[in-house]
Amino acid sequence: MEKKNNVWIKYITVFIFIFPFVFTGCEKDEDPKAPDLPPEATFIMDFTDFGGGQPKHMVLPLDAKDNDLQTALNWGWAASNVLVWNTVLFVHLAIPVASFYEAFNHEGVYQGNNEWIWAYNFSGGTYKAELHATLTTTQVEWEMYITREDVYTDFLWYSGTSNLTLTEGQWLLNGNPDDPFLYLQIDWTRSANDDSADIKYTNVLTGNDYYGSYISYGRTEETTFDVFYDIYNSLTQNLINIEWNKTTKEGRIKDSVHFGNDLWHCWDNSLQDTTCQ
């Protein structure tokens, strides 16, 4: 009888040890969550306050509210300088911008080794995008490959990095598949709880006459003028400062080359020239 009981004790003991593994072993480990995409404002500069509509459209008509630039010369000069950059960016950023906006409608799929891929079509199916994200101990590394059937395949159109708190990062953009040279660098910073960002576009095309030229957009804590552009022309070594109020649209511009002095030149809430206070 004692021998029989010992056999049962062995069976029970084995079962106790095996039981947890039988059920836990059947559970599939969940894939790690994909990193959050940097907000749109880390890629797209806001041109809306100069009549540009939504930033994604990248359109900036030079037009005062009353179509009378004779009395809106200060705002007009500011807008014309922003227009130069906006036009260049519209030509070169149309496809990258469209691919980036579409990424927010999809989920990253885990590939193993701390890598995720967002794969999707955009622009009516004309293009195929694969956005790769690789997580390291200090940052996320991004690479956007774009394919257009029978034209080019897996062209690395832009790449970048973002820190783990999404408060700063950088994008590097190539021209296009026919001109695959690095030409634009985007540096950005933002607060962790705000989708907007301070952002700077710099021409980094080696050998270009405007290498080093940049336009920078940001916000300040000032109450009178809380938004700014700094526009630097490397060819003329001229820096233009533009400041305005996001709410009232009042603003001012400083351009020593154009105005012949280092003074601010202002406009009011109807974009008309006014004396600076």
89 part of a folded domain:
yes
Give the domain range for residue 200: 40-274
Model pLDDT for residues 74-129, shown as the tens digit of each residue: 999 999 999 989 888 888 899 999 999 999 999 999 999 999 999 999 999 999 99
Helix (H, G, I), strand (E, B) or coil at 252: strand
Instruction: Tally the domains of the chain.
Output: 1
Q: How far apart are the first and last CA of the chain?
A: 106
52 part of a folded domain:
yes
1 part of a folded domain:
no
The predicted structure's pLDDT at residue 126: 94
The predicted structure's pLDDT at residue 28: 53
If you average pLDDT over residues 36-46, what whole number do you get? 95
Q: Is the Cβ–Cβ distance between 267 and 250 less than 8 Å? A: yes
Model pLDDT for residues 6-32, shown as the tens digit of each residue: 544 444 444 444 444 444 444 456 889
The predicted structure's pLDDT at residue 49: 85
The predicted structure's pLDDT at residue 196: 84
131 part of a folded domain:
yes
117 part of a folded domain:
yes
Residues 6+ apart with CB under 8 A from 116: 34, 35, 108, 109, 110, 132, 133
The predicted structure's pLDDT at residue 65: 44
Using alpha carbons, list the distances in angstroms from residue 181 to 23, 39, 46, 91, 206: 55, 25, 25, 16, 9
Alpha carbon distance 9, 29 (integer Å): 34
Give start and end residues of each alpha helix (H) in the chain: 2-24, 73-103, 256-259
156 part of a folded domain:
yes
The predicted structure's pLDDT at residue 91: 81
The predicted structure's pLDDT at residue 50: 80
Q: Is the Cβ–Cβ distance between 189 and 198 less than 8 Å? A: yes
12 part of a folded domain:
no
3 part of a folded domain:
no
Model pLDDT for residues 167-221, shown as the tens digit of each residue: 999 999 999 899 889 999 999 999 988 878 899 999 999 999 999 999 999 998 8
